[in-house]
Structure 1
């Protein structure tokens, strides 16, 4: 578990790097603030100041990696040292897939990743909802998930996201540990056809894990779900945000159709140990 002092130091370093480089780092703060151990975080200090950080974020058998270095401390081998330690841990933990994450506009990050032999995989957009008309939605119900929904949640992760069943079960079994987060099941005509996660914090509502069973896609359900979720969050005083891969053209078009616009982008690279 990271201490309050460590978390504050990471936030300070993040702010400095983002301001200097004019980018936005994806450090998965919901995970950083809820670590059960320090095994996945690597910090380097100089004169009692945090100057480099690397975090591993586990999603089943896949691990995402993101880090940063204080601008004045770059090209001194700080991050290379942390990266080596991080990859040793990833190997020990037996992850099957490693994704390295960097802001799309960071030239220094891309240079480092290319030097490591990482291969570009995809780009993910952060999208913010811009005010637009939302008509009343009928014909569907959003309800909080319960223990009886576990099998359907796993099925949705497998069929809609292409996850392995073991990974899906592992991730779904962990859900419920985070505060201010709701998993909503999507019912149409009293039949469950999908799920969507909404996390609310600091005035923002983030949409995650939105999926509809393949046989129920293309019927306008997804669009209506988004409209309802947006209306609910806006009425409670929250701005609405989400993330989507650029390769997912259908999802990207759906989000744009209900008023979302891309604000920031993150590039992902695959890395082989």
Structure 2
């Protein structure tokens, strides 16, 4: 697998929204929260193209990741691999890049995952520990190695 990251711009916002909706649809439908407009609005409210990268595997765009630096941690705000490319190790490979960056800086990585989403098991397998729970999300952190 040849993994690369490509820059995003404000012009990519709608493409990113569609990827987010596609990746989250099943989980959101399972809990009765699928609302494409809410998903769009939530993403656009914090979208910063300087922090967002397309995930490209073997020349094909398969998702995106948006990591926001904070004083004492990296916040993994958005991380989506579209369903047809899930289960191939792409997510683990991309996450390893972010974790390696955080470890090199000796800072934690934090994130929120939708309750009842398969992503919860994914993050726990990669060393994230539950810190708190909200109505719809579970919040995790991973300390630097």
Question: Shorter-chain TM-score: what band?
Answer: 0.7 to 0.9
**Structure 1 stretches of at least 4 aligned residues deviating more than 4 Å after TM superposition:** none
State the TM-score, normalized to the length of structure 2.
Answer: 0.73
Residue 149 in structure 1 maps to residue 12 in structure 2: yes
Residue 176 in structure 1 maps to residue 39 in structure 2: no
Q: Trace 1:1-40 onto structure 2 (pairs within 5 A).
A: none
Equivalent residue for 2:74?
A: 205
**Contiguous gaps of at least 5 residues in structure 2:** 26-33, 137-145
Q: CA 1:256 to 1:172, structure 2 compared with 1: closer, same or farther past 3 Å?
A: closer
Residue 257 in structure 1 maps to residue 129 in structure 2: no
Distance 1:238 1:142 in 2: 22
Distance 1:148 1:200 in 2: 23
Task: Indicate the structure whose relative CO is greater, using CA pairs within 8 Å and at least 6 residues apart.
Answer: 1
**Contiguous gaps of at least 5 residues in structure 1:** 1-137
Equivalent residue for 2:29?
A: none
- C-alpha deviation, 1:259, in angstroms: 1.7
Aligned residue for 1:142, secondary structure, equals strand
Aligned residue for 1:268, secondary structure, equals coil
Number of equivalenced pairs: 127
Aligned residue for 2:48, secondary structure, equals coil
Aligned residue for 1:230, secondary structure, equals helix
- C-alpha deviation, 1:148, in angstroms: 4.0
Q: Trace 1:32-111 onto structure 2 (pairs within 5 A).
A: none
- Structure of greater Rg: 1
